Structure 1
């Protein structure tokens, strides 16, 4: 059995083996925050934990779990309790996308997406938020997306899942107002994390042409996310051009938005039933 440091807070980071999760773990370690790193790839988690422990003198623990498993969030909560870890920062970063026409997609992949992006995030928040409220301090950072602000043909389930994350986070932010606990939704646009390769989006105009102007690096988005969480912002959209993009649904007819987004996302060569996962 292990325990949290009596003098340092502990952050639980899901999807910590790569991309935003890995970069957020690095930033938290720099602030001398102990870590519980969660993802599917144990070898990468252990390498990261060893690196951050040696560099910053923190305690970094790992737990290899697939949050697509309906029992994973409960197992994570039980293991945290067994290790006597008091979670002060909950970073719900794990998530993945699918690409292609929904009717032609693999149903199992779509249900896994909803389990990871929505159900696991909701369950982990419900399991750890009460303890934060009882102590009168804590932070929850939920990674949403600029896709949360508009429908996303060819990524219909993903966009809908991120709309849930945004709405859920904004509602909780109001519920906990004045408690010493803060809930933040981070909404990045496309990020240089390898996400597009895993989601088979290489040919999408989301990652080429003028859209490249909105492409931010993972370290930069992670920095903005952690700073927004520490400030207690309810919502943070990473990137100035991305902020403007989120205004489009207010400026254009709602019926026009799905057609516009499809035009942006269509590669002209849609893979069927494939999925891209992170962490």
Structure 2
């Protein structure tokens, strides 16, 4: 039986990955900051699906938290077959409104943690000739959206570059770029959602199902919804200045996820 490690596992897209992978019979390592929520989730998934669910409390905004998960990923005796780097957050406010400490924490979670955890997981997968990494980015990666969008753009570029380097190794890397998903993401960031049209909202479970299909097909980039694929196609053709004006109306880091 294979094992998947999911960061940011207790809510939203991370929880949807946990539900789907448990349903498919994968053992899980669930990573988040809240031990109580992790334990409740692990018990529920074990009782419902008969899988083993390990709990790992870690804050990926800290050195100790990243190092703890790195150590688990490098444990060859309890191999990880699929890594889902999902942990992330958004911030409300325009440039200079957000404290620098918060900006740096965002880069640590979205970029440094993704780099280090992917680097910790892949050597073992490569040695076994199989494995996968899903790095959750956002369609904000393709729009001018300050630190949030820039960090997600880094995730996309890093993942696609690494996927190219690992071609033929049996290890698949994919950047997942969701749009607006009904999760706790915006509430935690203090962002209102009343001005977002209903048709733009995605279901987390359907999104995960599409993402896993794309991973199985060997895609290095997944935008798992026709609506957002069309929007991103238009965005590629639109002037950057126009996009900047549109996205600034909802706040610099009003990030789809």
TM-score bucket of the superposed structures, by smaller chain: over 0.9
Structure 1 partner of 2:157: 167
Structure 1 partner of 2:23: 30
Q: How far did residue 194 of structure 1 move?
A: 2.2
CA RMSD in angstroms, aligned pairs only: 2.1
Bigger-Rg structure (1/2)? 1
Structure 1 partner of 2:226: 240
Kept in 2: contact 1:198–1:275 (CA 8 A): no
Structure 2 gaps of 5+ residues are none
> Does residue 1:89 correspond to 2:82, yes or no?
yes
Distance 1:204 1:116, change over 3 A: farther
- Structure-2 separation of matches of 1:93 and 1:51: 20
Specify the SS of the correspondent of 1:97.
coil
Structure 2 partner of 1:250: 236
- Structure-1 separation of matches of 2:161 and 2:63: 24
Structure 1 partner of 2:61: 68
Specify the SS of the correspondent of 1:141.
strand
Specify the SS of the correspondent of 1:185.
strand
Specify the SS of the correspondent of 2:28.
strand
Distance 1:83 1:49, change over 3 A: farther
Q: How far did residue 77 of structure 1 move?
A: 2.4
Moved over 6 A (4+): none
- Structure-1 separation of matches of 2:128 and 2:74: 16
Equivalent residue pairs, number: 256
> Does residue 1:142 correspond to 2:135, yes or no?
yes
Provide Cα deviations, 1:229-256, integer angstroms capped at 9, x if missing partner.
Answer: 2332111102211111212332112222
TM-score, with structure 2 as normaliser? 0.93
Kept in 2: contact 1:139–1:230 (CA 8 A): no
Kept in 1: contact 2:74–2:121 (CA 8 A): no
Structure 1 gaps of 5+ residues are 1-7
Q: How far did residue 83 of structure 1 move?
A: 8.9
> Does residue 1:202 correspond to 2:188, yes or no?
no
> Does residue 1:116 correspond to 2:116, yes or no?
no
- Structure-1 separation of matches of 2:194 and 2:140: 15
> Does residue 1:157 correspond to 2:147, yes or no?
yes
Structure 2 partner of 1:3: none
- Structure-1 separation of matches of 2:75 and 2:12: 28
Q: How far did residue 226 of structure 1 move?
A: 2.2
Structure 2 partner of 1:58: 51
